[in-house]
Amino acid sequence: MKAVESKTLTLETVAKHFQDWRSKKEKGERIPDRLWLESIALLCDYSLNRVARTLHLCATDIKKRQHALSAQSGLTTPGSTGMTFVEIDPTRVDTAAARTAVMELERPDGLRLRIQPQTPADTLALLERFLRV
């Protein structure tokens, strides 16, 4: 399953997606993965109960899907505990403190990298390559 960007999703938008799907679905048809992913992505901005109530889903089912997704991909999902995203401001990379600092990065697959950057360009290029941005 691919991650869904929550910036483009609102509760109303996802509710409309569910409404459209429900109006066209066959009897016994399961909710598509893309709709589950959208509902999980909403947890960044809305409470679990509000998402479940608005989308007419069981909160327990959303949590199960969320945990299954994070276990399957090794990634954290909105509302789950685990790694935190830290944005690196390129303007702050070129400071004396940044050149003497030691950075340790860990990818979701467990690979770790520990570096002491010397130049900002090298640091950003290495980060992009390591994190496969």
**pLDDT tens digits along 5-51:** 445 678 999 999 999 999 999 998 999 888 988 888 888 888 889 99
Quote the CA–CA distance of 38 and 48 in Å, as a whole number: 13
Quote the CA–CA distance of 116 and 71 in Å, as a whole number: 31
Q: Is the pTM of this model over 0.85?
A: no
